[in-house]
């Protein structure tokens, strides 16, 4: 089995780009990643691509060059990019290829995601009843978590304010203006106790990551970052997850708990060793909850950790240093590769105004989405 190194990362800014297709954004992200690695498209032995809005991400070869390379399309909702990362890394790990690229791109219309519930195995009445909304589940989960673990609504505002602040430091972010806590709290309640400015928005963007066999990495970069683990889990019986009509009385933990645990075990790394963290902040409550589910603190400790600034760029557990989903929005196919891009920048010491201090060695990224699917990725220098 080969170890796997990331030797190039590229990002197309996230936001709204009228007149520009997702494939064109994807091609720009690929070019940026190739430039970062000092390689060309024809050097790619294989590719993996993920998108929601593009039926066939491999159509991007028409833009990048018809080299005949094998291209695998993946889709796993909000965890799509983790599937792309995993398939790309594992294809190198098992020795099938030496060098390849993972690509994510999307271009969503404005507003909350809406699709026909029957396309994901849900009864049509669930949508007709006004329940088939991911934001509604996040409101329900956050409201219960706040109640059960003594977290204040102001802490949610602090999380969102931090992410907007970090976004202001990130030239690629969608939201680049700081928003203060009171404005966040006073914005319209979308799903109690979550307000408008506590949510991310579906938007547009692309990201790409070039990987190779670790023993080749120093040919291309002085600062390889290694893919130690990518674990994906679906919901277990007992978990109350997004887009479900019912839940059992006996509770089980969320898939993020299982994916994170498996990733730490596979990497042989403990949560205490992580220097920089990317969490799925679909909403501010999700960031708070995922801190505990991923293993970085006990339930309820977030109130104090966040009040004391530990999750800020200058804190000891920096979370979503590039502004996360709240400041970047969520182009589903690209979102998790944006997380990887940010971790690589931080671990290389290239994150500019948002660079964390010291010599970070370990990065962690988590994704969560419908219908209760989570992923955890661990990168190290």
Binding mask 228-247 for other proteins (x = CB under 8 A): ---------x--x---xxxx
Closest C-alpha among 137, 105, 84 to residue 203: 105
- Can you tell me which of 35, 38, 116, 219 binds other proteins, judged by CB under 8 A? 116
User: CB under 8 Å to 285, separation ≥6 — which residues?
Assistant: 138, 139, 141, 142, 143, 145, 146, 156, 193, 194, 198
Closest C-alpha among 335, 9, 14 to residue 171: 14
d(CA 50, CA 182): 37
* Burial category of 149 from C-beta neighbours within 10 Å (exposed 0-12, middle 13-18, buried 19 and up): middle
- Minimum Å gap between C-beta 279 and other proteins is 21
Omega before residue 193 within 30° of 0, cis: yes
Task: CB nearer to other proteins: give 1 or 249.
Answer: 249
- Minimum Å gap between C-beta 138 and other proteins is 8
Residue 119 lies near other proteins (rule: CB under 8 A): no
- Can you tell me which of 117, 324, 333, 372 binds other proteins, judged by CB under 8 A? 117
Task: CB nearer to other proteins: give 91 or 195.
Answer: 195
Report yes or no: 204 and 17 within 8 Å, Cβ to Cβ.
yes
Total of residues contacting other proteins (CB under 8 A): 38
Residue 314 lies near other proteins (rule: CB under 8 A): no
d(CA 33, CA 10): 4
- Can you tell me which of 180, 192, 215, 219 binds other proteins, judged by CB under 8 A? 192
- Minimum Å gap between C-beta 242 and other proteins is 11
Task: CB nearer to other proteins: give 31 or 234.
Answer: 234
DSSP class of residue 78? Answer: B
- Output the six-digit token pair for 374: 């989570």
Binders of other proteins in range 92-111 (CB under 8 A): 111
Closest C-alpha among 346, 380, 369 to residue 83: 369
- Can you tell me which of 1, 249, 314, 358 binds other proteins, judged by CB under 8 A? 249
Residue 123 lies near other proteins (rule: CB under 8 A): yes
Report yes or no: 258 and 236 within 8 Å, Cβ to Cβ.
yes
d(CA 178, CA 76): 32
Three state DSSP letters for 293-347: HCCCCCCCCHHHHHHCCCCCCCCCCCECCCCHHHHHCCCHHHHHHHHHHHHHHHH
Residue 215 lies near other proteins (rule: CB under 8 A): no
- Determine the interface stretch with other proteins among 17-25, 128-136, 175-183, 254-262 (rule: CB under 8 A): 128-136
Residue 140 lies near other proteins (rule: CB under 8 A): yes
Task: CB nearer to other proteins: give 39 or 200.
Answer: 200
Task: CB nearer to other proteins: give 137 or 220.
Answer: 137
Residue 131 lies near other proteins (rule: CB under 8 A): yes
- Minimum Å gap between C-beta 129 and other proteins is 5
Residue 266 lies near other proteins (rule: CB under 8 A): no
- Minimum Å gap between C-beta 4 and other proteins is 35
Residue 144 lies near other proteins (rule: CB under 8 A): yes
Alpha-carbon separation of residue 83 from 76, 104, 153, 371 (angstroms): 7, 10, 33, 15
Q: Nearest 5°: phi and psi at 283? A: -145, 165
Residue 120 lies near other proteins (rule: CB under 8 A): no
Residue 248 lies near other proteins (rule: CB under 8 A): yes
Report yes or no: 220 and 37 within 8 Å, Cβ to Cβ.
yes
d(CA 82, CA 97): 19
- Can you tell me which of 65, 70, 127, 315 binds other proteins, judged by CB under 8 A? 127
Task: CB nearer to other proteins: give 141 or 354.
Answer: 141
Residue 132 lies near other proteins (rule: CB under 8 A): yes
- Output the six-digit token pair for 212: 């190779």
- Can you tell me which of 20, 42, 147, 177 binds other proteins, judged by CB under 8 A? 147
- Minimum Å gap between C-beta 189 and other proteins is 5
Interacting residues with other proteins (CB under 8 A): 111-112, 114, 116-117, 123-125, 127-133, 136, 139-144, 147, 188-194, 237, 240, 244-249
């Amino acid at each position: 089995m080969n170890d796997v190194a990331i030797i190039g990362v590229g990002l197309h800014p996230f936001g709204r780009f009228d007149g520009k297709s997702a494939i064109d954004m994807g091609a720009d992200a690929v070019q940026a990643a190739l430039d970062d690695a000092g390689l060309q498209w024809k050097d790619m032995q294989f590719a993996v691509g993920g998108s929601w809005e593009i039926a066939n991400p491999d159509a991007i070869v028409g833009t990048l060059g018809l080299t005949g390379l094998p291209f695998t399309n993946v889709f796993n909702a909000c965890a799509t990019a983790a599937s792309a990362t995993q398939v790309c890394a594992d294809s190198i790990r098992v020795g099938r290829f030496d060098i390849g690229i993972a690509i994510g791109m999307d271009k969503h219309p404005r507003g909350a995601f809406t699709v026909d519930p029957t396309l994901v195995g849900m009864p049509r009445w669930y949508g007709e009843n006004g329940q088939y909304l991911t934001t509604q589940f996040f409101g329900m989960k956050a409201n219960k978590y706040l109640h059960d673990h003594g977290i204040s609504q102001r802490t949610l505002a602090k999380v969102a304010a931090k992410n907007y602040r970090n976004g202001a430091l990130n030239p690629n972010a969608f939201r680049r203006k700081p928003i203060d806590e009171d404005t966040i709290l006073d914005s319209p309640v979308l799903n109690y106790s979550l307000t408008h400015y506590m949510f991310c928005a579906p938007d547009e963007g692309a990201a790409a990551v070039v990987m190779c066999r670790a023993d080749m990495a120093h040919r291309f970069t002085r600062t390889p970052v290694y893919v130690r683990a990518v674990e994906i889990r679906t919901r277990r019986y007992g978990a109350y997850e997004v887009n479900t009509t019912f839940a059992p009385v006996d509770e089980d933990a969320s898939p993020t708990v299982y994916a994170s645990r498996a990733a730490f075990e596979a990497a042989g790394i403990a949560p205490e060793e992580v220097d920089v963290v990317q969490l799925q902040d679909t909403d501010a409550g999700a960031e708070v909850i995922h801190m505990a589910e991923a293993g970085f603190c006990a339930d309820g400790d977030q109130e104090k950790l966040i009040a004391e600034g530990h999750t800020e760029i200058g804190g000891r557990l920096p979370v979503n240093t590039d502004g996360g989903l709240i400041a970047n929005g969520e182009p589903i196919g690209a979102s998790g590769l944006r997380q990887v891009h940010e971790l690589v920048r931080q671990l290389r010491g290239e994150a500019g105004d948002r660079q964390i201090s010291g010599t970070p060695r370990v990065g962690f990224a988590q994704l969560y989405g419908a219908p209760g699917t989570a992923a955890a990725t661990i990168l190290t220098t």
